[in-house]
Amino acid sequence: MTRSTFISIFLIVIGLLIFIGCQGEKSVQVLKLAHVLDISHPVHKGMVYMAEKVSEKSAGKMRVDIYPSGQLGGERDLIELLQIGSLAMTKVSTAPLEAFVPEMKIFGIPYVFRDDGHRWRVLNGEIGEKLLLAGEKYFLRGMCYYDAGSRSFYTKNRPINTPDDLNGLKIRVMKSITSVEMVQSLGGSATPIPWGELYTALQQGVVDGAENNPPSFYLSRHYEVCQYYSLDEHTSIPDILLMSTVVWESLTKIEQQWLQEAIDESVDYQRKLWRESSNEALMQVQEAGVQIIYPDKVPFREAVQPMHESYRGTSIYDLITQIENIE
């Protein structure tokens, strides 16, 4: 065999190996999932579990690659990427989602749910399913709800025992009309600030406090600035695993089945993680010197009734009524 013949055969073999490798890669359905949470967050861990289950159920024929911590942009950016099919999935709070899917405003209205049991009966029922699919006309398909607990106020200089204690305080809220209305209905001054800028805003006195769930309060280290955490639990805003309808419809039936089964299993796993994380967060912030307050919720519920009534005659008010009627 001449040297030139050997080189030709060698190049052909290399070319075949590259081709086979490319074909092998193409046979794996890869879905990109991006979100803004830290990797220590229980919702992120729930999505990691989901990705593991996808690989397991598909015997490696399908894969979910996760990009956490805002690597691919903020929540609104990620939603827009889904709409054009440039991203397969994201995890978003329902607050920014209400700018795309108006029905999501229901979650920003305080004291819609009586307790955790009532909330999950709603989310796991017909109303919850309809809300997940309400964004399909905007190319956004809700896949599941992840537990994000309930949101409560934390403040720097004084505790919140009653709605009157919010008077004169600037409270950071998400960029959401209902979040702004909620704080104003309780007597505070609502100030929308991006999550990533909030620690500095609290330090510098741009705002006097904020509101969020226990794991977020702890993992953000906001407890280093705010010494009072009042568990009024005014809203229970779930996280939604959202998928591009463009990408969903491009999947085969069996791929859709693998993905949905993995997601459903991750919901139970994530809820367990959430309970553990919430308990741990409350213990840690208390040990760090935060005063945890358990206020009477009745005055808070009464204070927001005018906000509920302001929706009378709208589809949101109809939703409020339907939710209230679920036992």
Per-residue confidence band for 24, with pLDDT thresholds at 50, 70 and 90: very low
**pLDDT tens digits for range 180-218:** 999 999 999 999 998 889 999 999 999 999 999 999 999
Cα–Cα dist 261/207, whole Å? 43
How many CB atoms sit inside 10 A of residue 184's CB?
15
Burial of 185 (C-beta count, 10 Å sphere; 0-12/13-18/19+): buried
Q: What string of DSSP letters covers 169-198?
A: -EEEE-S-HHHHHHHHHTT-EEEE--GGGH
Mean pLDDT value across the chain: 91
Domain spans in the chain, listed from the N-terminal domain onward: 29-148+239-282, 151-236+287-324
Per-residue confidence band for 9, with pLDDT thresholds at 50, 70 and 90: very low
DSSP for residue 290: P
**pLDDT tens digits for range 147-188:** 999 999 999 999 999 999 999 999 999 888 899 999 999 999
Q: Percent of the chain, pLDDT > 90?
A: 85
The pLDDT value recorded for residue 2 is: 52
The pLDDT value recorded for residue 196 is: 85
Asked if CATH classification 3.40.50.11890 holds for the domain at 29-148+239-282, the reply, yes or no, is no
**pLDDT tens digits for range 236-247:** 999 999 999 999
The pLDDT value recorded for residue 225 is: 98
Architecture of domain 151-236+287-324: 3-Layer(aba) Sandwich (3.40)
The pLDDT value recorded for residue 26 is: 57
Q: Could you tell me if residue 185 is left (phi over 0), alpha (psi between -120 and 50 degrees) or otherwise beta?
A: alpha
**pLDDT tens digits for range 252-303:** 999 999 999 999 999 999 999 999 999 999 999 999 999 999 999 999 999 9
